[in-house]
């Protein structure tokens, strides 16, 4: 079970990443609303951070590449805004929840008709 401090720190990291993504980053692929952070998971020792993103763009591979390229910028934002001994390594993971929900909805429509 996660500790209260870990949960609070994870919430702070998510807030900082969301702010950096929506207000501070200069990359037009990432700042145009094509990417939304759905959740953040940190390890117990806060050394790694998994960031789940929902991508609404025709080329999700390009967005994932840009996120990978910008990971040092996001780590820098965490280091400046969250009090941690060490800044966690960030891994971006495409969240397939929206696509799965759309697929289920489509299947249900097919069953109905």
Residue 57 pLDDT greater than 50, yes or no:
yes
* Residue 41's CATH number: 3.30.300.20
Mean pLDDT score, 12-36: 83
pLDDT digits (tens, 9 = 90+) for 88-106: 999 999 987 777 777 788 8
pLDDT for res 1: 39
Burial of 103 (0-12, 13-18, 19+ CB in 10 A): exposed
pLDDT for res 25: 78
Mean pLDDT score, 49-53: 94
Query: Could you tell me the residue range of the domain that residue 82 belongs to?
Result: 4-112
Domain count, the chain: 1
How many C-beta atoms surround the C-beta of residue 78 within 10 A? 19
Model confidence at 2, pLDDT cuts 50, 70, 90, reads low
């Amino acid at each position: 079970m996660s500790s209260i401090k870990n949960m609070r720190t994870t919430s702070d990291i998510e807030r900082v990443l969301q702010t950096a993504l929506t207000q501070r980053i200069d990359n037009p692929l990432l700042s145009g609303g094509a990417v939304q952070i759905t959740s953040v998971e940190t390890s117990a020792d806060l050394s790694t951070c998994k960031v789940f993103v929902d991508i609404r763009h025709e080329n999700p591979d390009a967005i994932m590449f840009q996120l990978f390229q910008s990971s040092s910028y996001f780590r820098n934002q965490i280091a400046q805004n969250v009090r941690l001994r060490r800044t966690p390594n960030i891994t971006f993971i495409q969240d397939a929840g929206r696509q799965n929900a759309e697929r289920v909805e489509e299947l249900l429509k097919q069953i109905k008709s």
